[in-house]
Structure 1
Amino acid sequence: MNAREKGRPPSQRQLKVGELIRHAFADIFFRGEVMDDVLSKHSLTVPEVRMTPDLKLATVYVMPLGGGDADEVVAHLDKHKRFLRGEVARRVSLKFMPELRFKVDTSFESSRRIDELLASPAVARDLDD
């Protein structure tokens, strides 16, 4: 990423490709197409897929429902990265299929923390003034 691209919002193209890949993963996980003992125990959600500006790398944010074993789930998704890339390529028509990187989605935890802070007595006191 060069200096001009830092801090820029994603382009419409990045957003569209990310959304196509997100839908492909939702379909793969819904159908249970990955044969893995750990992954089959969890219902996975994919809240977001972020694309690099050149569309060569897709960062797939995943979270098991309930939040348990998130790191283990990501490790097992990494084991099946090649298979998953092929399955996504079959569903999404792109000139080049991006490399996949899996990460645990922490946005739910962040929003929970913000809710706790807003509900704290110190903030409530400041809001009453």
Structure 2
Amino acid sequence: MAKRAFQDGPGPSQRQLRVGELVRRTLSDVLMRGDVHDADLSGMSITVSEVRVSPDLKVATAYVTPLGGKGQDQVVKLLARNASELRKLVAKNVQLKFAPELRFRVDETFDRLDETRRLFDQDNVRRDLDDE
């Protein structure tokens, strides 16, 4: 029976969570110190909010946001352009059998949080919540 690419269970395993957090911390440190040899990237402040790792630990998807939230697509392109160097830096600092392939996505949780707050501020929603 072939292994599935994604888990069918309730969520990521403890190992996936642990590796994801190690990769997140390492990426954050590397970006903060400016270890990447790209002038466009080294001048930016980037938050790595989460890293999700595939069950086989071979792919790590990092959710990132630039400081201030402007230029999100540019940041993802710059990180993707430097993915191989970032992968080497992660491999150097995280003790894994294989360094995961790095993928980058814009973290949209802050946008969703703002939308949720906006919804809760509506009069009809507030009235429904107060009735309970």
Cα distance per residue 1:3-33 (max 9 Å; x no partner): 9823531000000000000010111011011
Work out whether residues 24 and 92 of structure 1, in 8 Å CA contact, stay in contact via their aligned partners in 2.
yes
List runs of 5+ in structure 2 lacking aligned partners. none
Deviations along 1:30-56, one digit per CA (max 9) or x if unpaired, are: 101123343234210001000011101
CA distance 1:30–1:96, shift in 2 (3 Å): same
**Alignment partner, residue 35 of structure 1:** 37
Q: 1:54 aligns with which of 56, 59, 62?
A: 56
1:70 aligned to which of 65, 69, 72: 72
For the Cα contact (< 8 Å) 2:27–2:48, is it kept in 1? Answer: yes
CA contact (8 A) 1:21 1:88 kept: yes
Counterpart contact for 1:18–1:48, Cα < 8 Å: yes
1:105 Cα deviation (Å)? 0.4
For residue 23 of structure 1, the aligned residue among 13, 22, 25 is: 25
1:113/1:13 CA distance change after superposition, 3 Å: same
Identity of aligned residues (%): 50
> Whole-Å Cα distance in 1 between the matches of residues 22 and 61 of structure 2?
13
Amino acid at match of 2:96: L
* CA RMSD across the alignment: 1.7
TM-score when scaled to structure 2?
0.90
Would the alpha carbon gap of residues 46 and 83 (structure 1) be closer, same or farther in structure 2, given more than 3 Å must change? same
Are the equivalent residues in 1 in contact too, given 2:49–2:64 (CA < 8 A)?
yes
Deviation of 1:78 after TM superposition, in Å, equals 0.5
> Does 67-76 or 26-35 show the bigger shift?
26-35
Distance 1:3 1:88, change over 3 A: closer
List runs of 5+ in structure 1 lacking aligned partners: none
Report the 3-state secondary structure (helix = DSSP H, G, I; strand = E; otherwise coil) of the residue aligned with 1:78.
Answer: helix
Measured in 1, the distance between the counterparts of 2:5 and 2:80 equals 30
1:119 aligned residue: 121
